[in-house]
Chain A
Amino acid sequence: MRRGSIAANVFFFSALWLVAALAATAFLLTELYSRALDDGLVESLEFDIESLVGVSLTDGAGNLSGATLSDPRFQRPASGWYWEVRDAGGSAASFSGSLVGSILPETAPISPAQNPQISALKDGFGTRLRVVKRRISVAGSQFDFIVTGNLDEIYAQVDSFRGQTLVVLGAVGAMLAAMSALVARFALRPVTRLRNALERVREGDAETVEGTYPSELAPLADELNELLRSNIQIIERARSQVGNLAHGLKTPIAVLRNESDGRKTALARIVAEQSDKMSDLVSTYLDRARLAARTTLVGKKADTGTVLTRLVRVLEKIHKDKSLTLVLPPGGTPWFRGEEGDLEEIVGNLLDNACKWAKSDVQLTAEPLRDNTAGLRIVIADDGPGLSEEGMSAALKRGVRLDEKTPGSGLGLDIVKELVDVYGGKLEMGRASLGGLEVAIDLPAARARAD
C-alpha cells in the first residue's frame, strides 16, 4: 500500500532543481566575472600600447630605445607584465625590463583585419599571459608593439571569486531546501487532519468526517462521507429486513407452540421442542443483530432520571400489586453515556425480573459512582426469595455469550450482561437489605446536559 512519500518527493525534486539552478548560477557568475576581468586587462594593455606608441612618437625618429612604461610591473623581472617592440624584420627594437633579456615567444603573424591582435601565451616561466599585439607605422617603418599582462593573476582572482560564490550559493541552497521541506509538511497538514477525522469515525467518536478541507481534499472528504452514509443505509436496510423476518416468525412460532401444548403425541412433542428452539434462535439473533449494529456510541447520551422514571411508571402499571420506589440522588442523576434504548433494555429487564419475584417491594436506585471515574451506579433490589450463592454465580457466569447460550435460560439476563459488557460496565449481585436479590450495575456516565 505504501509507496514513496509526497513530502519526500516534493523535497527531493525541489532540492534537485535547486542544486541544478544554483550550480548554473555559480558557473554563469564566475564566467561573467572572469570575462569582465579579462576585458579590463585587454583594455589596460591596449592603453599601455598607446602609451608606448606615444613615447615612441615623441622621439620622432623611430628610435625606440628610450621607450618605457611608468607601471613598475613592467620593470619587475618575470612578472608576466612585458612589452616588446619589433621591427619589420622581427627583431626586438626595444623591450621591457621585466623580460630580463629574453624574448617573447612568437605569436601568429598579424593580419590587417585583426589589428590589434589579441591572444594568449606562456612565457619561459610557465606564466600564462594575455597578449595584445599592434602593428603601427612610425616614421615610415612598421613596428609590432606587443604588451602582455599576467593572466594567472586574473585566474587566481576568478578562483577566489568562485569559492566565495559557491559558499554563498550553497548557504542559500541549504536554506531554500529546508524551506521547501517545511512547506511540503505544512501543505500536507490537512491530509493528517483528514486521517485523524477518519480515525475518529472508525473509533466511533464521530459519525461523519468532520472539518473543512482545502479544495484538493474537500471532494475526498465528501466522498468518504457519502460512502459512510450509504454503508449505514445498507446496514440499516439489512437490519430492518432481519428484524422483519425475525418478528414475522414469532406469530407462526406462537401458533405452533400453542397447537402442540397440552398434547401428548410424538408429533406434538417434536413441534413443541422445535418451536422452542426456533423461538430461542429468533430472539438470540435479534439481540445479536441489535448489538452488532452498535457501531457508534459517540455523542449518544440518555437522561437516566427520565428513563428510570418511565420504566417505573410502566412496570407499576404491569405489576399493579407491587410497590416500586425510585430513589434518585438529590443533586441530579448523572446521564448515561450511550444509547437510551440500551439503558431501557438493561434496567427494564432487571426491574421486570425484580417485580416478578418480589413479594411486595422493589427499589430502584441511581447514584454517581463514588470513585473518580465518570460512572453511574444503578441498583435494583427486591424483597423476593433472592438467589443462592451458586445461583448468583451461575447467573453472572462470564464468557457465556448470546451465541453460546443454552436454550431457555430465559431471565433476559443474557442481553443485559451483553449490553453491560458492550459499555465496559460491571454487574454484581448480592443480598438486598429488603431481603431479596440486589443487582448493581456500573455504567459509564456522560457529563450532565453539557451540550
Chain B
Amino acid sequence: MRILVVEDDENLNRQIKEALEDADYVVDVAFDGEEGHFLGDTEPYDAVILDIGLPQMDGLSVLEAWRRDGRTTPVLLLTARDRWSDKVQGIDTGADDYVAKPFHMEEVLARVRALVRRAAGLASNEIVAGQIRLDVRGGRVTVDGQAVKLTAHEFRLLSYLMHHKGKVVSRTELTEHMYDQDFDRDSNTIEVFVGRLRRKLPDDCIKTVRGLGYQIDGD
C-alpha cells in the first residue's frame, strides 16, 4: 500500500512517514501544495494524508483539483481548524475523513487503515481469502489459524493482493503500490517476492494469470 503525505511541517511529516513505514506502508512525502498536487496527480496512491494549511497551494484547493480531474484516491485531511463548519467544508470538497491536530499517531493510522480498507470495499480489519487471514490492524497473517512470518515486502505484496482479492493485479500495479517513486521499476523483484510468498502459503493461493498478472481467489 502506497501513501502520500503532504504536510509542510518537516517534523510532523517525518513522524507520519515513519509511523506509516513502521506499519508496512510505502510512503512518499511532499512539503507544499504544488508538489503534493503533482504527485497525487501522477502516481497511483492508495491513500493521501493532506494538510489543509500548505504553502503554494492550500490543501482544499489541491483536493478540489484532484476531484475535478476525477481522482478518487481516499484523502485524509489534517487540520488545526476543528469546527464542524470546517469539517463540513473539507468533506464536501471531497475528503473522506478528517483528523484535527494535535492528533495521536494511532488515530491517523487507524483512519488510514479504514480508508484503504473501505476503498477496497471491505468492511472489517480482517481480510479472509480461503485459509489465509490477514489482520490489517496488527499486520498479522495466519493460515488455518497458524501464524505465518512474513517480511515487510512480502506482507505489502500479500496485503495488496488481499485488498484486491478476486481481481487480477498486474506486475506494474504491484510495483507502483509497493515502492515509492524513486524505485527502479524495471526490476523483476516482484516475481522474486511472489515466489517467496508462495512457499510460505498454501499451494495455488496466488495464481498467475499469464500476460496479465497475479490473483488471489475471492473465497
Q: Which residue in chain A gives the minimum CB-CB distance to B22?
A: A262
Q: Is the CB of A311 within 8 A of B88?
A: yes
B91-127 residues at the A interface, CB under 8 angstroms: 91-92, 96-98, 100-105, 118, 123
The one of B9, B82, B97, B98 in contact with A251, judged by C-beta atoms closer than 8 angstroms, is B9
A162 within 8 A of B: no
A348 within 8 A of B: yes
Q: Is the CB of A261 within 8 A of B80?
A: no
Q: How far is the CB of A425 from chain B (nearest CB, A)?
A: 17
B56 within 8 A of A: no
A247 within 8 A of B: yes
B172 within 8 A of A: no
- Kindly specify which of B11-19, B39-47, B65-73, B209-217 makes contact with the partner chain: B11-19
Q: Is the CB of B104 within 8 A of A261?
A: yes
Q: Given A255-B12, A321-B123, are A261 and B84 neighbors across the interface (CB < 8 Å)?
A: no
What's the Cα separation between A140 and B4 when bound, in Å? 151
Interface size in chain B (residues, C-beta < 8 A): 27
The one of B15, B82, B100, B123 in contact with A258, judged by C-beta atoms closer than 8 angstroms, is B15
Q: Given A251-B80, A344-B84, A345-B84, are A257 and B118 neighbors across the interface (CB < 8 Å)?
A: no
B146 within 8 A of A: no
Q: Point out the residues of chain A lying under 8 angstroms from B104, CB to CB.
A: 257-258, 261
Q: Given A341-B83, A345-B84, are A250 and B102 neighbors across the interface (CB < 8 Å)?
A: yes
B85 within 8 A of A: yes
A336-389 residues at the B interface, CB under 8 angstroms: 340-341, 344-345, 348-349
Q: Is the CB of A318 within 8 A of B97?
A: yes
What's the Cα separation between A248 and B80 when bound, in Å? 7
B38-82 residues at the A interface, CB under 8 angstroms: 80-82
A199 within 8 A of B: no
Q: Is the CB of A254 within 8 A of B103?
A: yes
Q: Point out the residues of chain B lying under 8 angstroms from A348, CB to CB.
A: 84, 87
Q: How far is the CB of A451 from chain B (nearest CB, A)?
A: 24
Q: Point out the residues of chain A lying under 8 angstroms from B80, CB to CB.
A: 247-248, 250-251
Q: How far is the CB of A263 from chain B (nearest CB, A)?
A: 12
What's the Cα separation between A332 and B19 when bound, in Å? 49
Q: Is the CB of A275 within 8 A of B11?
A: no
What's the Cα separation between A348 and B84 when bound, in Å? 6
Q: Given A275-B102, A321-B123, are A310 and B88 neighbors across the interface (CB < 8 Å)?
A: yes
The one of A250, A313, A341 in contact with B101, judged by C-beta atoms closer than 8 angstroms, is A250
Q: Which residues of A contact B (CB under 8 A)?
A: 247-248, 250-255, 257-259, 261, 275, 279, 283, 310-311, 313-314, 317-318, 320-321, 340-341, 344-345, 348-349
A-B contact pairs, 27 of them (CB 8 A): A250-B101, A251-B12, A251-B80, A251-B102, A252-B9, A253-B102, A254-B12, A254-B102, A255-B12, A257-B102, A258-B15, A258-B19, A259-B15, A261-B105, A313-B92, A314-B84, A314-B87, A314-B91, A317-B96, A320-B118, A321-B123, A340-B85, A341-B85, A344-B83, A344-B88, A345-B84, A348-B87
Given contacts A254-B102, A314-B84, 18 further A-B contacts (CB under 8 A): A250-B80, A250-B100, A251-B9, A251-B12, A251-B80, A253-B101, A254-B12, A255-B11, A255-B15, A258-B15, A258-B105, A261-B104, A279-B102, A313-B92, A314-B88, A318-B97, A341-B85, A345-B84
